[in-house]
Amino acid sequence: MSKAVRGHSLTLLREPGVGRGVPLYRRLYERIRDGVLAGALPPGTRLPAARTLAEEEGVSRNTVEAALGRLRAEGFVVRRVGAGTWVSDEIPLRRLQRAATGLGNGEGARTRWALLSARGRRVAEANPGPNEPPGLIFAASGSGLDEVSLKTWNRIVRRRARERSLELLGPPPPAGLPALRKAVATYLHMDRGVRCTADRVVIVNSTQQAVDLAARLLLDPGDAVWLEDPGYVAARRALVAAGARPVPVPVDDEGIDVGAGRSVAPDARLAYVTPSHQYPLGVPLSLARRLALVAWARRANAWIVEDDYDSELRYVGRPLAPLQGIDDSGRVIYVGTFNKVLFPAVRAAYLVLPDALVEPFERAKALSDGFTSPFVQAVLADFIDEGHFSAHLRGLRGLCQARRDAFLAAASALLPAHATLGPAEAGLHVALHLPGRTDDDRIARRAVRAGLSLPSLSAQSMEAPVRGLLLHYGHVSAEEMDAAVEATARVLEEEGCSHDP
Ligand SMILES: Cc1ncc(COP(=O)(O)O)c(C=O)c1O
């Protein structure tokens, strides 16, 4: 899916002295061309509409048309009437290489892309980079710590800092400080029903690092991997960057359709799944499907990466037992994170591995970044061991449930009836489904302009786009919820989504 460049400025045009004497159209043409050659406007990037460009640059529409016409003629962009202008996916490689070495055009244009190996390009291209400005309402990430937990956290930080312990100056074992591995194992065993002992826990910085390590250790280029469709884009990117062949497997109201996966790619090497709270649709994986998934992995000798990213936050009934707890064949790699329920910068997550994988993961972790900060690990171990983590989770659950209730009340009053909400029994977000032909990407772009983060469901889909938006209500206070939902309703209205189709 293309990415718009709205918000990025192409406006050197107006700077005094820049390109004086060069026609305006040519200055605009060169600016965009150089952006493409330097990799700042990667293939597939959508350019602003000609009208918008003309307004932003303070030039006439004819000037913009002349510049875009030349860019198209030279193959830098493709234009489709009524649809827009994109940076071409097929910029000739020689052009990029000439630009990279500064040869050929004499203007010193560089590109990062052409300097990379084929594998390097795959890695870099798998991640299109940040695509949202910070500070948007309904943004996915934020701190889960309230004042009380933050005070406790800081108290432990000060205490640990006073100790001046050499152990905390590092290096600790790459798999993590023994104290934290033990604390995590006890917590997971007691509270989450995960089968685990401390020596099977490996501490990493994030779920993302866990998936990246799993991809690099367990897959060869071209190996098929089942991915929930729609699913978590960041995990897909790590797997694709490692050379995996993504196989989209549809998700229905029982979670990933294991039968469909078996029929399209029975011999896949790995399945990445979010069974407790499917991301993004929010459905839990049914027991029948859990059993079928584990049975398939056993028969196919495949791995299951179980991303249990927010199962601590369940508002209805008891937390669901993890897949890992029903797997007797050691095929499940369980992944959890502190980055969501504590705060993103804590950079602490964990894998629970089958015995035989512990050492390879430890080695790979050491290779990729050495180890996770021992100081943070020690603080976190204390936070868990002294009971503050459980207390924090109880408080967070109450807070997020109140936010969820406020969100649901506001949504039923303010959002159009044909926009239906997915399950909201857990987690920090809910999917808002929109009718079949809605251009949800366009709505998402308009939302950003209105200060809202409402990622489209299409952007998380692979094969059969599900239309709708994701609303991360978890970081919006109950008092601000009505205004946030009202702003969402306005965006929908402006996009013609306010009444039944
Ligand atoms: C499905 C899913 N998994 C994991 C995470 C957390 O990732 P990390 O630990 O990499 O910060 C998120 C965060 O939004 C998520 O949506």
Give the list of residues 6+ apart from residue 123 with CB closer than 8 angstroms, or none. 241
Pocket of ligand 1 contains residue 456 by CB under 6 Å: no
Instruction: Show Cβ contacts of residue 99 under 8 Å, excluding neighbours closer than 6 positions.
Output: 37, 38, 105, 109, 110, 111, 114
**Four-CA torsion 393, 394, 397, 398, nearest 10 degrees:** -150
Strand partners, 303: 270
pLDDT value at residue 219: 98
User: Hunting for tokens 């050495």 — which residue is that?
Assistant: 370
| pLDDT for 26 | 87
For residue 135, give the 3-state DSSP assignment. Answer: coil
Q: What are phi and psi of 452, to 5 degrees?
A: -120, 145
In this prediction, what percent of the chain has a pLDDT beyond 90? 68
Q: Is 309 in the pocket of ligand 1 (CB under 6 A)?
A: yes
- Residue 234 alpha carbon to ligand 1 centre in Å: 8
Residue 2 above 90 pLDDT?
no
495 CA → ligand 1 middle, Å: 30
Cβ–Cβ under 8 Å, residues 126 and 87: no
Model pLDDT, residue 7 = 40
Give the CA dihedral 250, 251, 256, 262, nearest 10 degrees: -20
pLDDT at 80: 80
Up-side HSE of residue 161: CA atoms within 13 Å toward CB? 6
Mean pLDDT of 369-384: 97
Task: Please report, rounded to a whole number, the percentage of residues in the chain having pLDDT higher than 70.
Answer: 91
- What SS3 state is found at 114? helix
Does ligand 1 have an atom closer than 6 angstroms to the CB of 453? no
CB atoms within 10 A of CB 7: 11
Ligand 1 atom having least distance to the Cα of 344: 11
Cα of 116 from ligand 1 centre, angstroms: 28
CA distance 358 to 372: 16
Q: How large is the average pLDDT for residues 196-218? A: 98
Bridge partner list, 78:
86
Tokens 């199962």 belong to residue: 311
Across the chain, which distance is largest between two alpha carbons, in Å?
74
Please confirm whether the linkage preceding 354 is cis (ω < 30° from 0): no
Average pLDDT value for residue range 334-338: 98
- For residue 95, CA distances in Å to 36, 98, 159, 433 come to 11, 5, 58, 43
For ligand 1, is residue 349 a contact (CB within 6 Å)?
yes
Ligand 1: centre distance to CA 305 (Å): 13
Specify the pLDDT at position 37. 77
Beta bridge partner(s), residue 306: 273, 334
The Å distance, Cα 312 to ligand 1 centre, comes to: 13
Is the per-residue pLDDT at 246 higher than 60?
yes
